[in-house]
Each structure stands twice: as structure tokens, then as C-alpha cells.
Chains A and B, each alone.
Chain A
Amino acid sequence: MAHGLAASGTLPQMLHRGRVCLCVYHDWCSSVGCCLCRLAELTSTAPLQANRVKGQGRQLQGANSIVFKIRVQGAVFALKGILPLGQVSRNPAAASRQKLERNASEYRAQIILCHPSIARVRHAFTGPSDLVLPWIPEDFFIEGVVPWRSTTYIVTDFLATFESWLEKKEAAHSKAPFGITERSMQLIMLQLATAVEHMVSNSIAHNDLKVGVLCMRGSGTPSTCSDACCAQLDNLFLQPNGRIVIGDFGEASLLITPDGAAIPTRTHHVIVRFSCRALLVLGKGGPRTDIICPRSHTTLDRPAEET
């Protein structure tokens, strides 16, 4: 891992110079003065202290991002820098736009969701990728992968991980590995189920709910995993009041289009297209036809390119 830039200390001022507010509610919040804009003012007036977050002897680095701990006038936040890596492209400008747009989908999904059990995005912006680049392991730079000049940064509340709660949990219930009673588990599931219900109602799937526990290496007893070989990081966090919060929407997917239309699956696309082609060749599907058209496509329109 290269350490060309001192990531501890004052956050580089260039981060502020290159900042572009990506808040989806910018027009609204600039007039009302929501928390995102208040934070934006704070970051522009006060220097941020960026320290590499270390938990249980390992660095908080997921597959797609690197997290820093920042302070804004005494308050602690988590600054998540998306890894600015992409394939070599013939059109760098277009590829860069696509990359930023893809990164933006994470915090957009998180901003849409307003629920006490879902981590809140305080601010998001684009900036130079110099803060993140020195911390990317060298084995990430495989052939054809190049670093982008800018990347997306997301500011969220800094919360304790769910692992820390498990580690503090005493083995009061001797038959359960983590000493979790049925009532404790019911409360955990209740909070997570309400959050998932809220996500489903907003057509968002998290796709990566997990907790970094139960490493099977070593003694064989359940323990929190701190090995780099078992890259299982927490996506569940704890608020000071004990409420479980779902974070890290890097793998989240929006299940409908922005205009509310359902997104068909890739399998659906392939089968509809293949069945259209086959039925056009065969004339019409008969009783011996093995290709089935999905129910939603009972009528077959001849595609223009196949005429």
C-alpha cells in the first residue's frame, strides 16, 4: 500500500476547492436550510481532521470505498471515499460521468430512505481522489484499471459497529454462542424488519446486509473476524441509544426506474428476445414448443431489426 499522502491531519484544502454539491434536494434544502446545507457551511469554514479509522486492528476498507473519521467543529462523522478506479476507456469524460453517476446512486438511495434504522447521509460531494488513492492496495491496480482524478465522497454519522455490541455482550445465555436471548434477537429482527419494510416500500434493496462476525479460522469458536483474509465488514451499526442502524448502501439497487416503471430482469430480456426470434422462425409456437414466453408478453411484436 502506498502512503504518498498523509491521511492523518488536516484534510487537504483541495478537497474543498473541487467540491460540488450533489445533494438531490439542493434546490429545496438551500431555501429551507436542512442538515446537509448546514454541514456544507461548516466544512467550508472549518478545517476537517481526517484520521484513518481503525477498528479491531484492521483498517476499514471495503471493496468499493475507504472510510475516514472526520471532525467538524467537534462533531464526529464518517467520510466515505469511493474507490476512484475504472477501466481504460476511449472516452474518459463519458466514462468518468458514468462512474460518478454510479457512485451517486449509493447516497441517492440512502437519502431517499428516511428511517431511524437507516444511516443518514449528511452530505455528499465530488472532489479530487488524492485523499483515497494513497490508501488503495497495489493489487487493486490490475491491468487495464486506471485511477480517476475525482471521486464521490459521502458524509454520514459516525457510529459504532454491531461487532462492538457483540463483543461486549456477556455470555449470560450459555447455550447461545453470543449469549443472545430470544427477546434480544426478536428486538434485533424487529428493527431490521422495519427498516427492510421501509426499503421495500421505496423499491430499494440493500443486497449486502451482513455483520463481520463468526470467523471460522483459529480456535473454531465464534469470534469477530479481524483478519484481512476474511473481508467481512459490518454493514450494521449501533446508535448511542442502542438502536441498530443499517449503513453502507454500496451494493444497493433501485428496483424501479426514476419514473416509477418496473425494471425487467436480464433473464427476462434474454428469454423474450429469444422466444420472439424462435417463434418468428418457426411461424408460431405449437404444443411442442419448448420456449415459453413470459406471461407479461403474450403478444409478440416483430422487432424492427429482425424484419
Chain B
Amino acid sequence: MMCRAPEILKYNNGEAIGSDSIPPTLADCYAKADLWSIARLGYQLLCGPSATLAFPDNARIFLDSELPELPSCYSPAFKQVLKVLVRADPARRPTAQYVHRVCMCACCFSCLYE
């Protein structure tokens, strides 16, 4: 069972990708798919089986409204990062550079607080 980013599933199905335009290159289609996979991994590790059910396999394209609730023990800011990374529209996801900076800042600040 493989679970892939919505834009890859759409691309494989021959559908238009993005909210209102067609990406002209393969890079536009695949550039943020790995980030989506990282966020899905985060959901799986933090939510457990409910996340596995929420993220379907190749048969169906995942929708934003189907997101499982993350446990309340995690901070709202951290949960928001995961939420924006699994958005179905890649154009509405942050870049890898942005995620790198956010995680770096979070790790540094949590070190300071400890």
C-alpha cells in the first residue's frame, strides 16, 4: 500500500494540478510531495491508527477536511505546521526551506526553555 501526495495521484490520473492553473513542469508537481509525506509521517506517529485511516491509499485522493485531530498534548503552533504541510493544494504548502527554519527555531527555543 502506497500513500502518495494528492498532486502525484492527480498527475498520475491525468488531472489538472493546483488550485487554478496547470503547473507547466514536473518540478511544480513533485517539489512539495515529499513535504506532504513528512507531515503524513508526523500524523501517523502522533495520532496512531486514526491517522492511518485518514490517509487513504492510491485509490482515493486525500481531502483537507479529513484530517484527524492531533493529541492535545502538542502545542498549537506545532500542530499548525503539520496541518499546513498536508494541504491538498501544493501551492498552499510552505517550502522545505521554511519548514527547516521553523523546526530549527522550535528546537533551539525548546533547548533554551529546558
Residues of A at the B interface (CB closer than 8 Å) are 166, 173, 175-178, 180, 182-183, 185-190, 192-194, 196-197, 199-200, 203, 205-211, 213-214, 216, 220-222, 230-232, 236, 253, 255-256, 262-268, 270-271, 294-296
Q: Do A187 and B52 touch (CB < 8 A)?
A: no
Residue in contact with B48 in the complex, picked from A211, A214, A263, A264, CB distance below 8 Å: A214
Q: Do A185 and B45 touch (CB < 8 A)?
A: yes
Q: Do A190 and B100 touch (CB < 8 A)?
A: yes
Q: Do B38 and A193 touch (CB < 8 A)?
A: yes
Q: Do B14 and A270 touch (CB < 8 A)?
A: yes
B contacts with A: majority SS: helix
Residues of B within 8 A of A205 (CB): 30-31, 33-34
Leading 3 A-B pairs by shortest Cβ distance: A177-B48, A209-B37, A190-B103
From residue A208, how far is it (CB to closest CB) to chain B in Å?
Answer: 7
Residues of A within 8 A of B103 (CB): 186-187, 189-190, 193
Residues of A within 8 A of B96 (CB): 193, 196-197, 200
Residues of A within 8 A of B100 (CB): 190, 193-194, 197
Interface positions of B from 1 to 47, Cβ below 8 Å from A: 1-4, 8, 11, 14-17, 21-31, 33-35, 37-38, 41-42, 44-47
Residues of B at the A interface (CB closer than 8 Å) are 1-4, 8, 11, 14-17, 21-31, 33-35, 37-38, 41-42, 44-49, 51-53, 71-75, 78, 81, 95-97, 99-100, 103-104, 106-107, 110
Given the known inter-chain contacts A200-B96, A222-B49, please indicate yes or no for A210 contacting B3, CB distance below 8 A: yes
Q: Do A189 and B42 touch (CB < 8 A)?
A: yes
Q: Do B24 and A264 touch (CB < 8 A)?
A: yes
Residue in contact with B22 in the complex, picked from A192, A206, A268, CB distance below 8 Å: A268
Q: Do A186 and B78 touch (CB < 8 A)?
A: yes
22 contacts between A and B (CB under 8 A): A175-B73, A176-B71, A177-B46, A180-B46, A186-B78, A188-B42, A193-B35, A193-B38, A200-B95, A200-B96, A205-B33, A210-B37, A210-B41, A220-B49, A221-B49, A255-B26, A265-B11, A265-B28, A267-B16, A268-B24, A295-B24, A296-B24
